[in-house]
Amino acid sequence: MELGPYCPAEIIVEDAVIDLNNPDFYLNRELSILEFNRRVLAQARDTAHPLLDRFNFLIIFSRNLDEFFEIRVAGLKQQLRLNRASPGPDGMLPQELLKQIGSICHVAVDEQYRLLNEELLPALAAENIRFLRRDEWNETQASWVRRYFREQVLPVLTPIGLDPAHPFPRLVNKSLNFIVSLEGKDAFGRQIELAVVPAPRSLPRVVRLPDELTDGGDQHVLLSSIIHEHVSELFPGMTASGCYQFRVTRNADLTLDEDDMEDLASALKGELLSRRYGNAVRLEVADNCPQLIIDYLLRKFSLDDQDLYRVNGPVNLARLWLSMDRPRLNYPPFTPSIPEVLQKSENYFEALKTRDVLLMHPFQSFAPVVELLRQAARDPQVLAIKQTLYRTGPDSEVVQTLAEAARNGKEVTAVIELRARFDEASNIEVANLLQEAGAIVVYGIVGYKTHAKMILIVRREKNRLLRYVHLGTGNYHAGNARLYTDYSLLTANPELCEDVAKIFQELTGMGRTAKLKKLFHAPFTLHSQLLGLIEEERQLALEGHPGHIILKCNAITEKQIMQALMRASQAGVRVDLIIRSICGLRPGIAGVTENIYVRSIIGRFLEHSRVYYFAHGGDSKLYCSSADLMDRNLISRVETCFPVEEPDLRKRIMKEGLQAYLRDNRQSWILQADGTWLPELATDDARPAQTWLLDKLTR
């Protein structure tokens, strides 16, 4: 497709120069992430969600905030430390940004613990689900807890007295710890005033009491309460006058010098150990901890008051996830559907010769993707299977099926992205398992994460080699496929299959950039093709055609894409952005972004699919992609963007994947020009997209 050039970042409107580099047109990336996390926290307040799911939204907020500090805040602090501070498109410098982050996070964390203590815990207790405090244990329960402590906890605890011979220990990132104030002398006559007790990560943070000790329901005690109650037993002959839980969050981003290493897997193994002990970025302490001890901890971790969070409850909320079968308190279960064409076919290869198959997860099952692989692994006519793997554990059906295919003599090639953040160790296990089974394992391209989701199957049929392909917007992780919304396309389209084969050749071999017929792929053509499509929409609008662009993805921060959308808006193109989390573009600015509308859907499932639609003067174009509209995806990753061309599948995506979300007036949040998000909460005629899709697509 021939694409015209796109305009520079400065245009003329009514004889006035509008500089699209103006920082006022952009929103800060880090603050946008925090706004997303606040929308997640709001779900814990929303009584439309079942109670246990509200509680778990609170836990998701904690996990998200942990990662925000480990990666985003850590990165800002590192910029300051290395004197490499540089503003983003919004013009904010790290120093100012860290202050704003601190203000927002302190308010959000206070609200989190208020929700926990004043709303969720009382509501759970009313349903006989309790987290018993120490003063709530009866004599029988206290006796059981004492025995549990002595048999299960005490043997693995290591109290560390703090004196010149025992300096402050290196504590693992996000580990639960206690600082204990002591009176008296120890066995060596030392008068030690402070000690640290790390809670081993191998111990469960939530312990369910046996049914015979309760009046029914689900009664739990926290590990922190168990240790606190019996901490004096760790210091015989001394008195523990105070015991306060705390947790430190550290920089968990990995730094690899890819130009100076011979083996990526070995280098990663070494870095994974250092992740546990990076520079401290946040300190959480119990709110009853004395100021003198807090000041002591801040000095030890080289932090200041801005980095301190006093919390009224467990410091490790992220470990309190509740998974229990209480039908009235959980979302009702559902059975994902399987398209009729696949239900009626015992041989998926024959079915795919007749038509493409589109799956919308989690409403439609991920099982057909696994079944396609399984049939390929066992089909004597299949010669080769190639697949990219980004976040897939060694126990997954996908990985086990690939290993089976290799053992069956198929030529199996796995392109494994080892550097998928926080899944590095799991991906190394996957690589080892597949290599042991006889598969060829490669780690992609140095400097470019392989984020594309592709399977290529080569099958001999009547002396011809035919190809079959899976392309997706999500990962090959069956668990995520029940929690994330994503698209899968199963196809035997010769041009798409040939394009996928060429990309695999790029990833495993060497040579020039492949010329593709259907697919756009980063880091080569995707960015320029998207810019060209936006510019075409602008030109058509100037010629009088009704212009419309709909982009659904997780995040948009790439500056040239945002500026192209601004120019389209100025030409009268309506731009609808359905963005789950980060939006770096400020909508609603007169003369610049007044035709741009941004919404975010937060609901039962994590919105993860990427869909790009262009009206194109009535000859619409629609694509699904593995890529978000961020610099890293478009410039420094291997990504794919594939057209959906069969009319019935295009109609499905328009109706189910885009229009349903644009109509959503129950789980939508609308981005305002000042950067705030307001919920669109209809009381009558509510149209939540995810609920509608559950009714329409599941069984």
Q: Which of 49, 230, 451, 608 is catalytic?
A: 451
**Parallel, antiparallel, or unpaired: how do β-strands 548-556 and 574-583 relate?**
parallel
Closest Cα to residue 312, out of 59, 112, 43, 103? Answer: 112
For residues 117-135, b (16+ Cβ closer than 10 Å) or e, as one string?
A: eebbbebbeeeebbbbeee
Give 387's strand partners. Answer: 414, 455
Residue 255 token pair: 């730094």
Sign of the Cα pseudo-torsion (477, 480, 481, 485, in order): negative
Which stretch of DSSP H or E encloses residue 31?
helix 29-45
Q: How far is CA 165 from CA 161, 169, 232, 590, in A?
A: 9, 11, 22, 66
Residues in the chain: 699
Lookup result for tokens 């469960």: 204
Q: Report, in this order, helix, strand and coil percent for the chain, each rounded to 5.
A: 40, 25, 35
Taking the C-alpha atoms of residue 295 and residue 265, their distance in angstroms, rounded to an integer, is: 41
Residue 21 token pair: 């580099």
Give 551's strand partners. Answer: 577, 612
Q: Label residue 189 left, alpha or beta by phi (over 0 means left) and psi (-120 to 50 means alpha).
A: left
Taking the C-alpha atoms of residue 187 and residue 583, their distance in angstroms, rounded to an integer, is: 60
Tell me, letter by letter, the H, E, C secondary structure of 130-187. EECCHHHCCHHHHHHHHHHHHHHHHHHCCCEECECCECCCCCCCCCCEEEEEEECCCC
- Other beta carbons within 10 angstroms of residue 84's beta carbon come to 9
451 annotated active-site:
yes
Q: Label residue 560 left, alpha or beta by phi (over 0 means left) and psi (-120 to 50 means alpha).
A: alpha
Q: Is the previous residue joined to 327 through a cis bond, with omega within 30 degrees of 0?
A: no
**DSSP letter, residue 474:** S
Closest Cα to residue 698, out of 380, 337, 436? Answer: 337
Q: Label residue 15 left, alpha or beta by phi (over 0 means left) and psi (-120 to 50 means alpha).
A: left
Tell me, letter by letter, the H, E, C secondary structure of 544-585. CCCCEEEEEEEEECCHHHHHHHHHHHHCCCEEEEEEEEEECE
Q: 240: exposed, middle or buried (C-beta count within 10 Å: 0-12, 13-18, 19+)?
A: buried
- Other beta carbons within 10 angstroms of residue 543's beta carbon come to 10
Closest Cα to residue 125, out of 111, 134, 136, 135? Answer: 136
- Other beta carbons within 10 angstroms of residue 432's beta carbon come to 13
Taking the C-alpha atoms of residue 542 and residue 539, their distance in angstroms, rounded to an integer, is: 5
Identity of the residue numbered 556: I
Query: Which residues are tagged catalytic?
Result: 451
